[in-house]
Amino acid sequence: MRSNSNNAAYGADAGGAIGAGVSDISQLSINTIRTLSMDGVEKANSGHPGTAMALAPAMYALWQHELNYDPANPLWPGRDRFVLSVGHASMLLYSTLYLTGVKDIEHDKVVDRPSLTIDDLKQFRQLNSKTPGHPEYRFTAGVETTTGPLGQGCGNSVGMAIAEKWLAARYNKPGYDLFDYYTYVFCGDGDMMEGVASEAASTAGHLGLGNLIWLYDSNQISIEGSTDLAFTENVAKRFEGYNWHVQTINDVNDVAAVRKALDAARAVKDKPSMIVMHTVIGYGAPKKAGTASAHGEPLGEAEIEGAKKAYHWPSAEPFYVPEGVKEHFQEGLGKRGAAASAAWKKKFEAYAKEYPAEASQLTDIFEHRLPAGWDKDIPTWDADPKGVASRASSGRVINAVAKNLPWMIGGSADLSPSTKTNLTFEGAGSFQPPQWNGSYAGRNLHFGVREHAMGSICNGIALSGVRAYGSGFLIFSDYMKAPIRLSAIMEVPVIYIFTHDSIGVGEDGPTHQPIEQLAQLRATPGIMTIRPGDANEVSEAWRTIIPLTEKPAVLILSRQNLPTLDRTKYAPASGLAKGAYVLASCEGTPDVILMASGSEVSLVVDAYEKLTAEGVKARVVSFPSFDLFEEQDQAYKDSVLPPEVKGRVAVEQAAAFGWDRYTGLGGSIIAMNTFGASAPLKDLLTKFGFTPEKVYEAAKAQAARK
């Protein structure tokens, strides 16, 4: 049940030492959030106390009175989502999770112990504590997403709102509104300055996401001082231009005003909402309130003492929690959330009897399981010297997979005709509001030219249980570095599809020819990067990445055709699952090993055939994934790359960085050491040495090594 919209209800909690529209116990609860946050930062001698102090009334208003959330079941699928995009104010969230009694999660199951204890708050920012400097998903129960780089939480929230709309359109039935939750976001001036938040907000406005509410902490302070130094725009007007519903609260201490604004925001069904909240950073601190020094450093004992005096705080003891505060939260959020989650569970049980197929799919989504037969239509490919671009073969495979994986959705940054990621089977449709000729049940997302937002939105979708993919040109992975990295930190299985993977883009020139991007992706922990060498390796790549439930995957694909190898002559493409495999080899120990990924595999195969015809003992290793190969045991690695074989050649149209791990210091690496050039592909291959002759010459020289 949503909060009472009668204005009189908001004035019932009158009074309080500081703040308007709150009772004594409400004010005590607000100030408990403030003091725990201050004390946590002070004990750590590190952190950001001021924003937590300022936002405590809004946090209280939202969690205690408005949030549809059960602390005893933080995995309840119908819950509202809360995102602290201002992740530096993490003590605000940690204090609230402690006071509201949110239960812990272990192996994706709720367990009967608190997510956080008072001792956890005392270990803020310490090694192995559950209260790291910025909130981390999977690390602290109740944290819905990892928010560190500003703006990312804003982007995640748009993905969460998209997921709710999609789940509702696909699975809600008459009398069964299983999905009707909201995503609430606390964001700040820093978020508003970051481009990713702007991209995401523009997307949300276009899509008419009325289930998304951002509460903007406009304290006008950043690390360097007043935001007037660099940020003087009218944010409210900007968001009106994005097609958002915008309200302003002049004093966030007025809890009644916050609740009224939230009610008004929820009443707008066809637009996302922003509530601009004017706050005073470090509220209550005698000298530091409203200053930059309250932002990113401990207040100090004197300021804490002064703030607690201003709050009429009953104890000088750090981490003091007054009697009745935790009970107050249980009487409000606790009881309301328990009743709501129990009602949802009962509704789902009835739904499962009436709609068993849909309920089975939802259970698979909730429990991160794949449907039976998801891979049954993945194609195999006949040998073909002309071949097919791996972006095109991937386009066929993604359609074969997605039609049997009903909760897989995604799209591109305005590039689906090039990335071949459009889902074309019957019923796929486009995720759009009706006025843009689509529906929220559509499975094709159109991100526009917004790569950064695409990555953060995909993270938000994946955090909601729906399988998400985003696509673009490999060169533009640079614009997505932050969300890709956060996918890995959070261990969410987003699939990133990058095409135009090499100097094979030819005439587009060095601005569009990726060089260092592969090395960057390979260097990022927790990501599965795969660059398949032909169509059958593409099929195996998809077969490998879809079962990943706790790791993002990056698929690197070509624009140009790649010959489809004859697998009756060469090893089966199933070897891709181990990252690198012997594609062809001589009898016994080779004198030289030729290694390559992607489009260069066929190049080293040509050199291998010539060497073999001359009696040179050679081996070809297809090397689609460093990450997968490094997961193998040493015996397998040695069977592919025998340590006694010194003659080695690696070929890849990208930076050489990383290949010396496999070639050794004396090995040969044919790679890129410039940013490319604008010319037809054949001319580029000659200029940069990606020819059978160059590979052959390098191999002959390496074969002579002893």
Strand, helix or coil for residue 597: coil
In the structure encoding, which two tokens stand for residue 268, read together?
A: 């707008």
Q: Residue 2 CB: number of other CB atoms within 10 A?
A: 12
Classify burial at 113, counting beta carbons within 10 Å of its beta carbon; exposed 0-12, middle 13-18, buried 19 or more: exposed
Q: Which residues are catalytic?
A: 451
Ramachandran bin of 615, using left for φ above 0, alpha for ψ from -120 to 50, beta for the remaining angles: left
Whether 133 and 47 have beta carbons less than 8 Å apart is answered as: yes
Annotated binding-site residue? 295: yes
The Cα 145–Cα 54 span in angstroms is 22
Classify burial at 654, counting beta carbons within 10 Å of its beta carbon; exposed 0-12, middle 13-18, buried 19 or more: buried
The Cα 292–Cα 281 span in angstroms is 8
Annotated binding-site residue? 278: no
The Cα 403–Cα 399 span in angstroms is 6
Strand, helix or coil for residue 440: coil
Strand, helix or coil for residue 125: coil
- pLDDT digit string (tens) for 515-555? 999 999 999 999 999 999 999 999 999 999 999 999 999 99
On whether the 25-341 domain is CATH 3.40.50.300, my answer is: no
The Cα 296–Cα 50 span in angstroms is 8
The Cα 276–Cα 191 span in angstroms is 13
Whether 25 and 259 have beta carbons less than 8 Å apart is answered as: no
Among residues 85, 38, 87, 82, the alpha carbon closest in space to that of 61 is found at 82
Across the beta sheet with 581-585, the strand order is 581-585, 618-622, 592-596, 648-655, 668-672
One-letter amino acid identity for 140? Answer: T
Annotated binding-site residue? 639: no
Q: Which pLDDT does position 509 carry in this prediction?
A: 94
The Cα 58–Cα 247 span in angstroms is 14
In the structure encoding, which two tokens stand for residue 613, read together?
A: 């015809």
Q: Which pLDDT does position 17 carry in this prediction?
A: 43
Residue with tokens 């989504």: 365
Whether 185 and 83 have beta carbons less than 8 Å apart is answered as: yes
Pairing of strands 528-530, 495-499: unpaired
Pairing of strands 103-106, 212-218: unpaired
Annotated binding-site residue? 134: no
DSSP3 helix / strand / coil % (the chain, rounded to 5): 45, 15, 40
* Contacts (Cβ under 8 Å, ≥6 apart) of 562: 387, 388, 389, 390, 533, 534, 535, 598, 599, 601, 602
Cα angle, residue 324 at apex, residues 319 and 325 outer, rounded to 5°: 55
In the structure encoding, which two tokens stand for residue 509, read together?
A: 């020139």
Across the beta sheet with 245-249, the strand order is 81-84, 183-188, 212-218, 273-278, 245-249
Pairing of strands 553-556, 495-499: parallel
Annotated binding-site residue? 391: yes
Q: 3-state SS string over 222-236? A: ECCEEHHHCCCCCHH
The CATH architecture annotation of domain 576-704 reads 3-Layer(aba) Sandwich (3.40)
Helices marked H in 7-125:
7-10, 24-44, 49-60, 90-100, 118-122
The reply to whether domains 25-341 and 384-563 share a CATH topology is yes
The Cα 42–Cα 36 span in angstroms is 10
Annotated binding-site residue? 88: yes
The Cα 255–Cα 306 span in angstroms is 23
Whether 705 and 649 have beta carbons less than 8 Å apart is answered as: no
Among residues 369, 422, 426, 415, the alpha carbon closest in space to that of 394 is found at 422
520-525, long-range: CB within 8 Å, 24+ apart, which pairs? Answer: 520/477, 520/481, 521/477, 521/484, 521/554, 521/556, 522/626, 522/627, 522/658, 523/658, 524/484, 524/485, 524/488, 525/488
- Looking at the domain that runs over 384-563, which CATH code has it been given? 3.40.50.970
Annotated binding-site residue? 149: yes
Strand, helix or coil for residue 36: helix
Q: Which pLDDT does position 393 carry in this prediction?
A: 98
Q: Which pLDDT does position 173 carry in this prediction?
A: 98
Whether 545 and 555 have beta carbons less than 8 Å apart is answered as: yes
Instruction: Tell me the domain boundaries of the chain.
Output: 25-341, 384-563, 576-704
* Contacts (Cβ under 8 Å, ≥6 apart) of 2: 66, 68, 263, 266
The Cα 621–Cα 637 span in angstroms is 11
End-to-end CA distance of the chain: 78
The Cα 104–Cα 119 span in angstroms is 15
The Cα 184–Cα 213 span in angstroms is 5
Annotated binding-site residue? 150: yes
- Which residues are bridge partners to 670 per DSSP? 651
Whether 133 and 362 have beta carbons less than 8 Å apart is answered as: no
DSSP letter string over 547-578? T-SSS-EEEE--SSEEEE--TTTS--GGGGGG
Q: pTM for the whole thing?
A: 0.96
Strand, helix or coil for residue 248: strand
Whether 429 and 411 have beta carbons less than 8 Å apart is answered as: no
Annotated binding-site residue? 206: no
Q: Residue 584 CB: number of other CB atoms within 10 A?
A: 19
Task: Pick out the chain residues at pLDDT < 70.
Answer: 1-22
Among residues 48, 41, 93, the alpha carbon closest in space to that of 69 is found at 93
Whether 552 and 528 have beta carbons less than 8 Å apart is answered as: yes
Radius of gyration of the chain (CA): 28
